[in-house]
Amino acid sequence: MCSKFMRFFKKDKSGENLPSTREIMQEIDVIKKNFRKHGFFLDLFRKEVLEKFEEKRTKDVEHFFELAEAFFYHNRLLRELPNISSSQQEALAIVWHKLEASLSSVGIEIIRRVDVDFDPRLYEAVEKVAEGDGRPVVKKIIQPGFVYEGRVVKPAKVIVERENFESRE
């Protein structure tokens, strides 16, 4: 803020240096102006802080999504290897557990479950294998989805299977 305040005169014993009414009014005007400008400053500051906060929050969440996605794909390829040992599988499960707990602490839930009923709120089917009349089941996750603070921000892209009703029974 660059506005300058005028200086009040000190009152001496004789009262000769008392500021005039005009000077006091001028001083009040300066103070009023500074209040007004301060209001603008606060307004702008509030706007900027809110925008920065929202921007940071969105970026932070996106970083989590990226990390979770990267681990999802890495995990899947490792599990597809022919000679993966049970302890390696166990290690992957432990990392998943820790990652999901961390995501949950910031309000994120990853959608990656398979062999569950297809729910169009959480999953987007991009392919269907096996024609049948039964309820479709999620067979493979092509891309994981995310729920953030209870809201589906991205449904998981999946391959579904519709078995015959009788065979599922």
Residues that bind other proteins (CB under 8 A): 1-3, 29, 33, 36-37, 40-41, 43-44, 70, 73-74, 76-77, 80-82, 118, 120-121, 123-128, 136, 140, 142-143, 151-153, 155, 157, 159-160, 162
Q: Which is nearer to other proteins, 58 or 102 (CB)?
A: 58
How near is the Cβ of 36 to other proteins at its closest, in Å? 4
Q: Which position has the token pair 């290897």? A: 81
Q: Taking a C-beta distance cutoff of 8 angstroms, is the pair 124, 156 a contact?
A: yes
Q: Which is nearer to other proteins, 15 or 82 (CB)?
A: 82
Q: Which is nearer to other proteins, 100 or 124 (CB)?
A: 124
Q: Which is nearer to other proteins, 36 or 97 (CB)?
A: 36
What SS3 class is residue 77?
Answer: helix
Token pair recorded at residue 131? 């024609």
What SS3 class is residue 92?
Answer: helix
How near is the Cβ of 130 to other proteins at its closest, in Å? 12
How near is the Cβ of 105 to other proteins at its closest, in Å? 23
From the list 33, 34, 37, the residue with the least C-alpha distance to 45 is: 37
> Residue 58 is inside which H or E element, if any?
helix 21-80
How near is the Cβ of 162 to other proteins at its closest, in Å? 7
Say what angle helices 21-80 and 86-105 make with each other, to 10 degrees: 160
CA distances from 166 to 46, 106, 110 (A): 62, 43, 32
Residue 76 zone, left/alpha/beta (φ > 0; ψ -120 to 50; rest): alpha
How near is the Cβ of 46 to other proteins at its closest, in Å? 12
Q: Which is nearer to other proteins, 17 or 44 (CB)?
A: 44
